[in-house]
Structure 1
Amino acid sequence: MSRTAQSGPVHLTNDGFTAEPRVTPGCAVCQALKKQWWQASDPGNPAYNASHATDLAVELRRHPHPRKTPR
């Protein structure tokens, strides 16, 4: 029986948590999610929760906005 082995170390990143999410100007939903993200990503905040911060960052990235069509 042959076994496969990893050839080197695995380097994990957590960019979904550490990278500040972008918001669409004027979008109240984006602003609310960003505020929650700040609270959840700050270790000094009582609402700190790294998993929730990651979830919020994903939700912000996936939050839909109408695209402007060129005239």
Structure 2
Amino acid sequence: MQDLTEAVQLTDPLELADPKPNPACTVCMALDRQRTEARRLGDMTQVSDCNIEIRRHPHSRPRGARS
């Protein structure tokens, strides 16, 4: 049985590296611009949303790869 007395260390998802947009994709590049503006304004919720959209967009990574 697992010992439940130890603290669990979780990573902060905002500390993960931003996904790289595909420069040939207008959707990815628009999301990158939105993310940059959101970060400038301190809107980390919007930054996170843009990161999720870039990761999920089919042009952001090779088929079958995980980020």
Verify same fold: TM over 0.5: yes
Shift of residue 54, structure 1, vs aligned partner: 0.7
Contact kept? 1:33, 1:56, Cα under 8 Å = yes
The alignment covers a number of residue pairs equal to 58
Contact 1:21 1:34 in 2 (8 A): no
Distance 1:59 1:20 in 2: 11
- Name the TM-score, length of structure 2 as normaliser: 0.64
Structure 1, unaligned runs of 5 or more = none
Could you tell me the percent identity over the aligned residues?
A: 34
Structure 2: give runs of 5+ residues left out of the alignment: none
What does 1:2-21 align with in structure 2 at a 5 Å threshold? 6-15=4-13, 17-18=14-15, 19-21=17-19
Instruction: Name the residue aligned to 2:47.
Output: 53
Flag the structure with larger Rg.
1
SS at match of 2:19: coil
By percentage of residues, which structure has more helix? Answer: 2
Q: Once superposed, what is the RMSD of the aligned Cα atoms? A: 2.3
